[in-house]
Chain A
Amino acid sequence: MNRFFDKVIGDPMNRVDGKLKVTGAARYSAEYQLPNISYGVIVSSTIAKGRIRSVDAKAALRSPGVIAVISHENAIRVPGWADNEHPTEPPTGGRPLRAFHNNRVYSNGQPIAIVVADTYERARHAAMLVKIEYDTDKHETNFEANKGKAVVPAVVKKNPKSGLADYERGQAEGYKTAAVKLELEYVHPTEVHNPMELQAITAHWEADDKLIVYDKVQGTKPTQQAFANEWKIPVQNVKVISEFVGGAFGNGLHNWPHETAAIIAAKMVKRPVKLMLTREQMFFMVGYRPYTWQKIGIGADKDGKLTGIYHEAIGQTSSYEEFTESTLQQTRMMYTSPNIGTKYRLLPLDVSTPIWMRGPGEATGAFALESAMDEIAFALNIDPVQFRLMNHTDTDPDKNLPWSTKYLKECIQVGAEKIGWSKRSLKPAGVRSGEWLVGYGMGVGTFGAHRGAAAVRAKLLANGTVVFQSAVTDIGPGTGTAMVQIASEHLGVSPDKITFQLGNSDFPQAPNQGGSATVATVGSAVVATCKAMKEKLLGMAPAADKRFAGLKVEDVTFDKGYLSLSRSPSVKVAFTDLLKKQNLSELDVLQDSKPNQEANKYSKYSFSVHFAEVHVHPATGQVRVKKVVTCADAGTIVNKKTAANQMIGGVTGGIGMALQEEAVMDHRFGRYVTKDFGDYHVPVHADVPPIEVYFVNKPDYIVDPMGTKGLGEIAIIGVAPAITNAIFNATGKRIRELPVTPDKLI
């Protein structure tokens, strides 16, 4: 292991931007007070399907402070949208909704108009005065009633080798001949993105063809490109700032109609427009984890060896845009079994488009797979921990490759010990605490350890400080902090002398922050940039001290802002002296980095296991999660504090998934009825027990030079089944439809 790793990497360093956040100094997308700013409020549809007959803005326009009411009737044409029809038909494939493009209504809550006024309050008031008349068409929003109409995704039709295509290893439905077999159906309801910070954008046309947006997104570069295409202007004429993001779990991975609405409005009123959605609008406009039905056929021999799993899923999407997620991937690679089949379908409905939500399809799929594993272990009368270990696979049976690293067994062993698994009764309802039934459950999670391409700039300044820059965003995990730690290790400069600037499309290329790939992707670019910087410094060193001549980077130690000879540490020179010697005010290095081909010889995944102890009251059906132990195999842990923070957040999200979250729609209207924090429940403090976090913390250098593997997704994947399995162990009741509310347990 690189000796630098022993110093800063892994250190639970405080967040570099922690003080800015807790003192309110950090600026979020709705906090840029540009001169002459105006405020937009969206008026959204109250029908699920049809056409807008008229938009009556007279009363709104008479209201004090109102500058404009913009709808399809008067909106300027977005130049990138050449054809008039939107969206494309038929049902799947399609493209994102176009704000104010024509009179069609595709879902309830769709943006119909934007009211712009001189204050937010006046805009909001006037928005209530806009009268919209519709010609209503019959809508279909009921998943269960329309399940039979599910279709093969367009992406599969186009590419039969897509990971979403039907899959068969051995015999897809080989489970059917097993000695012990089960066929089980699971339902995951719609879950809505509800980060603390509401979706917001401040849009400003600095010139006719020059746009700047302060936008809550997960990628500044992809957003920059999207708006450049939309407005047919050079990409460098679009600037996207997203310096601070108040939580995003996938809802910033897509550009939504309200963003274009604000940009159209800013262009039309010739003033900057600030737009922040209401909490209710967040339920309709910015994606969600889709309602998903799953069926698992699972079989094993009497000794507990799996003989087959057949896993089907149908996910909901909108009528105009195809959204897919890898709900079934883990079933192909998690356990050793001669027969595996998967089948994924989509059900387009008259609803808005879903989007990835933390542990996207995998968390949904893991609920079914890990529940089914628990169910068949019970049928076999085998301890579920034992059952997983018995069916553990040492190579990837899907790709037929060795794992880059896999320490899942270690995770399971540690987790079982820490939760007190030995207290568990194999028979349900076997343990009590006073009146409460006590149960223990577990669930495994996995997610691909992805790495993409990125570039990072570093500027060494004359005072010895270093500024790094990347277009990447930080949606909450502490990206800036981790990058400072990696830079410190690899450049030999103490963390307090390093600044990592991010969230600006002017900075070097970085992909969306998503898929747990940021540390591997951007961190690798930081390492590459540090290496390039060190080479430059070493090249400059002989001018200061001839003893550095002809040496390689490996021969030299970089530490605390000095180069020294590794074999003779007293021979040293400060970075700053090298700049001075050359009369340089700064040393600027830009380096890119991409995954190496060697990594393709391996299958790369992160793994996690979650153990839960729950108490259930038999008379009232109330569930109390008493303790969660979560253990992750995510390679090198760069910062133990922020990493544990991510795991705790993921487990909390998993508690919500298991017990509380459900966006309920009244299908007569195609409209959600639980659409605020009073009705749509997420865990409060009283729901969150002590969560113990453990990391294997063994590097995976196949994935990236730091040895990291992604962490954000595996924090939630497998948590919900750990809890529902524990509920079964406590009560003997198997609830296959989330969330498990008290009414389902009495």
Chain B
Amino acid sequence: MIQFQYTRATEARMALDAISKDQSSMFIAGGTNLVDLMKRGIVTPERIVDISRLPLNKISYEGKVLKIGSLALNSTVAENKLVQHKHPLLAQALNAGASAQIRNMATVGGNILQRTRCHYFYDTSLPCNKREPGTGCGALEGFNRMHAIFGFSDKCIAVHPSDMSVALLALDATVLVEGSKGQRRIPFGDFHRLPGDKPEIDTNLLPGELILGVEVPDNGFAKNSHYLKVRDRASYAFALVSVAAALQIEKKVIKDARIALGGVAHKPWRLAEAERSLIGKPVSEASFQQAALLAMQGAKGFKHNEFKLKLAPNSIVQALKVASRMV
């Protein structure tokens, strides 16, 4: 770890000022990812601005929108009655992530911004375009069992590791951010980037911008949603594939649907076409199989992750079956 300066911000403006003055500075909140990255020399901020004391941890409900402050802890959000009642999918996804200890430290904003867990990104002696542009993608011809099947580029095939983000994407959330030019709203689907030619940039957040919170609008999915996370052990592992599935069902007919995948792309992966295919269909395994088939269009596997081409559709069907209470 390199030596760094530490500043504690007491209001958002102060944090933004501190960051804008110093190109090599970074925000820190829970630190559950950043500290690891600093210890390994993957990111080397010369100043860290501690935002954990900012008053951005409220969870409230206003005008049919659930508002979650960016500094609300993962565990607090997962346990929140409003969240559990209105968006159980989000609570499930949060509880599927990390461990109780980490959820007690990690914030909503930090969870969205966490970096990939690609093996090559974490080892400074191996090539990685995301860590060190121009060095090549280690995973492309290397060990890529955990890697993307959608939306990758020849520069990067890493996946975004967050579970919470998959649920927020499915729930049509919006990210509220503030920068030097004031506040703006980013639809969740536009927040993270695909790697393209610049895998070193994970998101569309501009330099110096701070996440204030996320907003989740009311929906009709509370009764029929499920977050399925398939992983190598029962807990505390990143997803091989995860599915956020949400259905609005009336008289055994699907009125509306949301499906998003985790562990398959550089960003949480929404399956709009598969969702549309379900609308008006009866709740049945056949409907779900058809949606899963559509979902996989354009997917491509690498040497070690070919299994995801089967595991993903299987998991979509399974998540929809659980969401619709078929099983």
Q: Is A668 an interface residue (CB 8 A)?
A: yes
Q: Is A199 an interface residue (CB 8 A)?
A: no
Does A620 lie within 8 Å of B311, measured CB to CB?
A: yes
Does B141 lie within 8 Å of A668, measured CB to CB?
A: yes
Q: Is B189 an interface residue (CB 8 A)?
A: no
Q: Is A619 an interface residue (CB 8 A)?
A: yes
Chain A residues positioned under 8 Å from B314 (CB to CB): 619-620, 746
Q: Is A390 an interface residue (CB 8 A)?
A: no
Give the complex CA separation of A295 and B315 in angstroms.
35
Q: Which residue of A lies closest to B44 (CB)?
A: A128
- Interface pick from A252-260, A402-410, A512-520, A677-685: A677-685
Does A621 lie within 8 Å of B125, measured CB to CB?
A: no
Does B142 lie within 8 Å of A660, measured CB to CB?
A: no
Does B142 lie within 8 Å of A743, measured CB to CB?
A: no
Q: Is B3 an interface residue (CB 8 A)?
A: yes
Partner of A681, one of B117, B141, B233, B315: B233
Partner of B125, one of A125, A620, A664, A671: A671
Does A679 lie within 8 Å of B3, measured CB to CB?
A: no
Does B311 lie within 8 Å of A621, measured CB to CB?
A: yes
Interface band, chain A: 35 or more
Chain A residues positioned under 8 Å from B143 (CB to CB): 664, 666, 673-674
Q: Is B198 an interface residue (CB 8 A)?
A: no
Knowing A125-B1, A742-B240, say if A673 contacts B120 (CB, 8 Å): yes
Give the complex CA separation of A743 and B232 in angstroms.
9
> How far, in Å, is B5 (CB) from chain A's closest CB?
15
Give the complex CA separation of A146 and B210 in angstroms.
53
Chain B residues positioned under 8 Å from A125 (CB to CB): 1-3
Q: CB-defined interface of B113-131 with A at 8 Å, one 1/0 digit per residue?
A: 0000101101101100000
Give the complex CA separation of A121 and B35 in angstroms.
14
Interface residues of B in 229-262 (CB under 8 A from A): 230-238, 240
Q: Is B310 an interface residue (CB 8 A)?
A: yes
Q: Is B138 an interface residue (CB 8 A)?
A: yes
Give the complex CA separation of A678 and B317 in angstroms.
28
Partner of B311, one of A659, A673, A686, A746: A746
Does B233 lie within 8 Å of A621, measured CB to CB?
A: no
Does A681 lie within 8 Å of B1, measured CB to CB?
A: no
Give the complex CA separation of A435 and B318 in angstroms.
10
> How far, in Å, is A155 (CB) from chain B's closest CB?
34
Q: Which residue of A lies closest to B141 (CB)?
A: A668
Does B233 lie within 8 Å of A743, measured CB to CB?
A: no
Q: Which residue of B lies closest to A618 (CB)?
A: B314
Does A620 lie within 8 Å of B315, measured CB to CB?
A: yes
Chain B residues positioned under 8 Å from A686 (CB to CB): 233-236
Does B234 lie within 8 Å of A746, measured CB to CB?
A: no
Q: Which residue of A lies closest to B308 (CB)?
A: A743
Does B234 lie within 8 Å of A660, measured CB to CB?
A: no
Does B235 lie within 8 Å of A620, measured CB to CB?
A: no
Chain B residues positioned under 8 Å from A229 (CB to CB): none
Q: Is A690 an interface residue (CB 8 A)?
A: no
Does B310 lie within 8 Å of A684, measured CB to CB?
A: no
Q: Is A701 an interface residue (CB 8 A)?
A: no
Q: Is A181 an interface residue (CB 8 A)?
A: no
> How far, in Å, is B321 (CB) from chain A's closest CB?
9
Chain B residues positioned under 8 Å from A619 (CB to CB): 314-315, 317-318
Does B141 lie within 8 Å of A743, measured CB to CB?
A: no
Q: Is B327 an interface residue (CB 8 A)?
A: yes
**Extra 5 A-B pairs, beta carbons < 8 Å, given A668-B142, A742-B311:** A128-B41, A435-B327, A617-B318, A673-B120, A674-B119
Which 9 pairs show the lowest CB-CB distances between chains A and B? A46-B125, A686-B234, A743-B307, A673-B119, A686-B235, A619-B314, A620-B230, A619-B318, A666-B142
* Chain A to chain B contacts (Cβ below 8 Å), 23 pairs: A124-B1, A128-B1, A434-B327, A619-B318, A620-B314, A666-B119, A666-B126, A666-B143, A669-B125, A671-B123, A673-B119, A673-B126, A675-B123, A676-B122, A678-B117, A681-B233, A685-B235, A686-B235, A686-B236, A742-B230, A742-B231, A742-B232, A746-B314
